[in-house]
Amino acid sequence: MTPLEFHARQSTMTSPGRYARRLAALPDDLGALARTVQGLAIYDVAARDFYGVDLPRKRIDQIHLRRVEDMLDRVLAMDDRPLAQERIPRQRLASRCRGFVALLLSMSRAKGVAARARSGFGAYFNPGTFEDHWACEAWNATTERWVLADPQFDEIWRDRLGVRHDVLDVPRDQFLVAADAWRLCRTGKADASRFGINFGGLRGLWFIAGSLVRDIAALNGVEMLPWDVWGAQPQSKRRLERSELEYFDHLAELSRDPDASFAELREAYAGDERLRVPARVFNVLRERSESIN
């Protein structure tokens, strides 16, 4: 199986399940699909300031949904119209970056387009820092390359943050996949303290290492929540030992060009229990162990 064939298949997390026909009715264009996602989901933390919406506390729990089928359950329970019809902000799914990406992955794959989630860091949130973020890599058959799409960034987000680049083809210096962030910091070309979650004071090599593990899981078709922790991911703010640095150096080398390393990535994930997503992971935001099923 080629990388394009693999990433055109739905994963357990992105499968629309009983809503497959709903996705089949959507347009094929990446831009139209991204706009569809934006009309279905709302970033919970920005809901009040950006959209004038106070989400009920019970709705905030929607950010923890891992599977697209469950997300669509919630969306359609609030508004059963076709998915391409934009919902008013208060009737959108509470989500964060990974949720927007998962929905776009599901829609793209439903159209037979290869797409994959990438865990990394965006340079367009707070000047001078690289914030923890997820984006979608979608295959452009016309130009024969992977383009980075950021479905979270609708017109309101672009205006508030002054984003001028194409959010359907994000420049690679504006969104760094975890492997690129790791290599820049390890070679002294970037400061690891600038990478992470700025407002939470969570940043550094340990944080980038956690993103590497999530990125490799996603490249193997297991798209987890950004706050899911398992296996090799270091504990918060811990200084990494030499053996760990070498281990993550290797992971970064594998994931920096996932097409060239496709077979090795698959073998590494299958053969390393530190990388493989177990049946239960630790949800950091909820501070509890959870089943991923």
What does the pLDDT look like over 171-187, one tens digit per residue?
999 999 999 999 999 99
Confidence of residue 293 (pLDDT cuts 50, 70, 90): confident
Structural tokens at position 40 = 């279905």
Nearest of 259, 203, 269 to residue 230 by alpha carbon: 269
Q: What distance lies between CA 270 and its chain's CA centroid?
A: 21
Mean of pLDDT values over 33-55: 97
Structural tokens at position 200 = 């939470």
Residue 99 exposed, middle or buried by CB count within 10 Å (0-12, 13-18, 19+):
buried
Confidence of residue 290 (pLDDT cuts 50, 70, 90): very high
pLDDT at res. 281: 98
What does the pLDDT look like over 266-286, one tens digit per residue?
999 999 999 999 999 999 999
Distance between CA atoms of 133 and 233, rounded to whole angstroms?
Answer: 17
Q: Is 184 helix (H, G, I), strand (E, B) or coil?
A: helix
Q: Is 93 helix (H, G, I), strand (E, B) or coil?
A: strand
Confidence of residue 201 (pLDDT cuts 50, 70, 90): confident
The pLDDT mean for the chain works out to: 97
What does the pLDDT look like over 152-161, one tens digit per residue?
999 999 999 9
pLDDT at res. 34: 98
Half-sphere exposure of 62 (CA within 13 A, CB side): 31
pLDDT at res. 263: 97
Distance between CA atoms of 282 and 100, rounded to whole angstroms?
Answer: 22
β-pairing verdict for 93-95 and 115-122: unpaired
What does the pLDDT look like over 206-248, one tens digit per residue?
999 999 999 999 999 999 999 999 999 999 888 999 999 999 9
In the predicted structure, residue 199 carries a pLDDT above the cut 90 = no
Distance between CA atoms of 218 and 209, rounded to whole angstroms?
Answer: 14
pLDDT at res. 74: 97
Mean of pLDDT values over 19-45: 97
Distance between CA atoms of 194 and 205, rounded to whole angstroms?
Answer: 10
What does the pLDDT look like over 126-150, one tens digit per residue?
999 999 999 999 999 999 999 999 9
Q: Where are the domains of the chain?
A: 3-291
In the predicted structure, residue 67 carries a pLDDT above the cut 90 = yes
Distance between CA atoms of 256 and 253, rounded to whole angstroms?
Answer: 6
Residues 6+ apart with CB under 8 A from 233: 209, 210, 213, 214
Distance between CA atoms of 124 and 267, rounded to whole angstroms?
Answer: 34
Distance between CA atoms of 230 and 274, rounded to whole angstroms?
Answer: 8
Give 62's strand partners. none
CA distances from 16 to 24, 99, 107 (A): 10, 13, 8
Distance between CA atoms of 14 and 10, rounded to whole angstroms?
Answer: 6
pLDDT at res. 18: 97
Answer yes or no: pTM beyond 0.95. yes
